Structure 1
């Protein structure tokens, strides 16, 4: 199940030098990240806000993402430093947590976020064991986004390092909400946080 993480780590360590690495990199949608590209980030944000217009987009500084890693350090450090992370909060409490390492990889280069039927219901079954109590207010203190009037808030960390995978994961999140047939009065707030600057 962690083959995607191991592949990502291998490709990063080898610097994508071999032709084999180049093919695998393209297959899994891993992109070079040599400088912050506001145009590419904005294009992906637009894709996400077109899917879910009420989403709030934030660009994280390196410092803020490090604070997030420290604040959530009770989890595996490898988990909280991944390029795609999806955190579901209800009434301020973390109730479901997903990262790219726990989405099952496939030979066609796509990630199955519904592995083990996790996305068959809302909230999705957590991919990461929630043995610690973490709160949305912990993230609000770092990123200073406004406290939601909604009881449910989804925080979506993403990077253009995995741009295609990020878009696919976000669509899974939106589809999961829409397939649960919530009335318009019970919309979920989604906070989209780009972490490219933390990876440079």
Structure 2
């Protein structure tokens, strides 16, 4: 598979089983995040790895966080999150170490963290693993972030080996999201009714 074939066939999956990456594999995979665009070289990414016996404890903190930030959550949603966080082979909390006083705008620092996370997802796929990025209201919970040793959360990556054949969903035609500028405002096929 060429690098382009790999990028065009990657898809997120939460149908994951053991094994997760070994410590050595994980460091190489996380190393790809350090290749993300980082204007100002602020290195705003932080990663907390949770696996093994620590997953159920994280799951309970996730449930407590839901009580704080999503108190109206139905019992089925709470139980689904508890189970997922307790059983995924590996979870990586995506932290953001932002510098609001820096000349590099916060939105650019946040995009650097997001670009690093995407590099991780691509590297997982390239090395035979799978993953999915999950977020939601939990990322706004300062208590949960602090319990993980982070100042801000960008979400969590569920990581493991895909359970069965990977399905590559059909993606939209990139031409619908691309326009050539010739001195006048552009329109996009994706925005037409």
TM-score interval, normalised by the smaller of the two chains: 0.3 to 0.5
Query: Normalising by the residue count of structure 1, what TM-score does the alignment of the two structures yield?
Result: 0.33
Query: Normalising by the residue count of structure 2, what TM-score does the alignment of the two structures yield?
Result: 0.33
